[in-house]
């Protein structure tokens, strides 16, 4: 089969994900046949919108049933306080920086590593790929953050944990590999290298292989730029995710960059454009999160608390975490 790239991302094999994948969903009819149907799915006005909120009104409008800020559906109190506690108090550390998929602990390929003499870890490896002994780590559910270079993937991980552990820079192409952050030994957040003109083909291959093959993967969050809108690379990745029936949510970041008076109209246009360019099926309809990683905003007003809850629910975690 001819290899096909979206910028640095080889998308030709994404359709070959094994059918046992937990992310697979059954095929569905297209949701958006016409204007009427779409308007029905996304009500015109949000029921409640705090004038002070940065993203709440957007989150309420597009996900009236999901938002923490809305009391229509009050998620189980226990899950809610567990989430708040986890993201405020759990230990947050970088477990692995993965340059080669085969070196990722707890996957099928990594079993070879497990059986290998651990002395190998001390031998010099090509590039800077460390070898991790899987016995030192617990296998945990994982969620990955995808997005083009500079969209704010690493910033989002820091905002979720309220700690500047992931490296962030103004220039694009900073995160070179899959960085896997352990949250309290109950879940891992995976930061990925950005796609687009600054990305490299091997980074795209690595990310796509992770998505296709990683059994611990529970959810993909595709980060988009709420200010600049989606570009051709985003559209291509989105189409591939939709075609391959991989479950994902969309996170519109940098909402703070849009002037408050324009915010609603601006985001409506972006969502309209997105729905026109990508056919998203009813069953896999993603939640649309609107967030800002800007320090000036509190987590609840910048959509971060909603996203935290979504991560907890998607990963199915509720057990004790390490502080």
Ligand X SMILES: Nc1nc2c(ncn2[C@@H]2O[C@H](COP(=O)(O)OP(=O)(O)OP(=O)(O)O)[C@@H](O)[C@H]2O)c(=O)[nH]1
Binding site for ligand X (CB under 6 A): 147, 149-155, 168-170, 172-175, 194, 253-254, 256-257, 292-294
In order of 14, 198, 204, 313, 319, the CA distances from 20 in angstroms are 14, 33, 23, 21, 25
Separation CA 68–CA 60 (nearest Å): 9
Q: Enumerate binding residues for Mg ion (CB under 5 A).
A: 153-154, 174-175
The least distance separating Mg ion from the CB of residue 152, rounded to whole angstroms, comes to 8
Judged by beta carbon distances under 5 to 8 A according to partner kind, the member of Mg ion, ligand X, none in contact with residue 187 is none
The 3-state secondary structure of 22-72, one letter per residue: CCECCCCCECCCCHHHHHHHCCCCCCCCCCCCCCHHHHHHHCCCCCCCCCC
Q: What's the distance, CA 225 to chain centroid?
A: 13
Q: How would DSSP label each residue in 248-264?
A: EEEEEE-GGGS-TTTHH
- What is residue 5's three-state secondary structure? strand
In the complex with ligand X, which residue's Cβ is closer, 152 or 286?
152
Judged by beta carbon distances under 5 to 8 A according to partner kind, the member of ligand X, Mg ion, none in contact with residue 144 is none
Judged by beta carbon distances under 5 to 8 A according to partner kind, the member of ligand X, Mg ion, none in contact with residue 173 is ligand X
Number of residues that make up the chain: 323
In the complex with Mg ion, which residue's Cβ is closer, 86 or 166?
166
In the complex with ligand X, which residue's Cβ is closer, 66 or 289?
289
In the complex with Mg ion, which residue's Cβ is closer, 254 or 263?
254
Judged by beta carbon distances under 5 to 8 A according to partner kind, the member of Mg ion, ligand X, none in contact with residue 292 is ligand X
The least distance separating Mg ion from the CB of residue 92, rounded to whole angstroms, comes to 16
Judged by beta carbon distances under 5 to 8 A according to partner kind, the member of ligand X, Mg ion, none in contact with residue 320 is none
The least distance separating ligand X from the CB of residue 122, rounded to whole angstroms, comes to 30
Residue 58 near residue 301, CB atoms below 8 Å: no
Q: How many CB atoms lie within 10 A of CB 122?
A: 8
The least distance separating ligand X from the CB of residue 115, rounded to whole angstroms, comes to 34
Q: Which two tokens mark 7?
A: 């910028």
The least distance separating ligand X from the CB of residue 8, rounded to whole angstroms, comes to 11
In the complex with ligand X, which residue's Cβ is closer, 198 or 264?
198
Q: Which of 227, 229, 298, 231 is nearest to 257 (CA)?
A: 227
Judged by beta carbon distances under 5 to 8 A according to partner kind, the member of ligand X, Mg ion, none in contact with residue 257 is ligand X
In the complex with ligand X, which residue's Cβ is closer, 63 or 225?
225
Q: Which of 152, 146, 166, 247 is nearest to 206 (CA)?
A: 146
In angstroms, how far is the first alpha carbon of the chain from the final one? 48
The least distance separating ligand X from the CB of residue 76, rounded to whole angstroms, comes to 29
Q: What are phi and psi of 204, to 5 degrees?
A: -65, -40
In the complex with ligand X, which residue's Cβ is closer, 246 or 304?
304
Judged by beta carbon distances under 5 to 8 A according to partner kind, the member of ligand X, Mg ion, none in contact with residue 256 is ligand X
In the complex with ligand X, which residue's Cβ is closer, 151 or 270?
151
In order of 60, 95, 168, 322, the CA distances from 182 in angstroms are 30, 6, 18, 10
The least distance separating ligand X from the CB of residue 191, rounded to whole angstroms, comes to 7
The least distance separating Mg ion from the CB of residue 189, rounded to whole angstroms, comes to 12
Residue 304 near residue 53, CB atoms below 8 Å: no
Judged by beta carbon distances under 5 to 8 A according to partner kind, the member of Mg ion, ligand X, none in contact with residue 310 is none
């Amino acid at each position: 089969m001819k290899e096909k790239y979206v910028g640095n991302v080889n998308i030709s094999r994404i359709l070959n994900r094994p059918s046992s994948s937990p992310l697979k969903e059954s095929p569905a009819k297209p949701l958006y046949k016409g204007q009427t149907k779409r308007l029905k799915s996304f009500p015109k006005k949000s029921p409640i919108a705090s004038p002070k909120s940065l993203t709440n009104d957007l989150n309420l409008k597009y996900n009236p049933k999901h938002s923490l800020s809305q009391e229509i559906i009050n998620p189980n109190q226990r899950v809610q306080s567990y989430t708040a506690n986890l993201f405020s108090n759990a230990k947050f550390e970088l477990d692995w920086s993965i340059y080669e998929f085969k070196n990722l602990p707890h996957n099928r390929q990594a079993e070879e590593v497990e059986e290998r003499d651990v002395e190998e870890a001390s031998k010099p490896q090509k590039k800077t790929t460390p070898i991790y002994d899987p016995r030192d780590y617990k296998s945990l559910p994982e969620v990955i953050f995808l997005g083009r270079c500079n969209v704010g993937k690493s910033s989002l991980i820091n905002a979720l944990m309220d700690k500047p552990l992931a490296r962030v820079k103004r220039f694009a192409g900073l995160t070179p590999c899959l960085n896997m952050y352990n949250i309290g030994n109950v879940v891992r957040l995976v930061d990925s290298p950005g796609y687009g003109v600054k990305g490299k083909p091997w980074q795209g291959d690595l990310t796509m292989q992770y998505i296709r093959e990683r059994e611990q993967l529970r959810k993909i969050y595709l980060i988009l730029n709420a200010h600049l809108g989606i570009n051709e690379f985003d559209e291509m990745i989105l189409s591939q995710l939709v075609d391959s029936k991989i479950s994902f949510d969309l996170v519109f970041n940098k909402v703070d960059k849009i002037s408050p008076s324009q915010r609603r109209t601006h985001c409506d246009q972006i969502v309209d454009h997105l729905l026109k360019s990508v056919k998203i099926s009813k069953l896999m309809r993603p939640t649309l999160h609107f967030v800002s990683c800007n320090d000036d905003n509190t987590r609840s007003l910048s959509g971060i608390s909603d996203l935290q809850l979504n991560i907890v629910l998607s990963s199915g975690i509720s057990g004790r975490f390490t502080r």
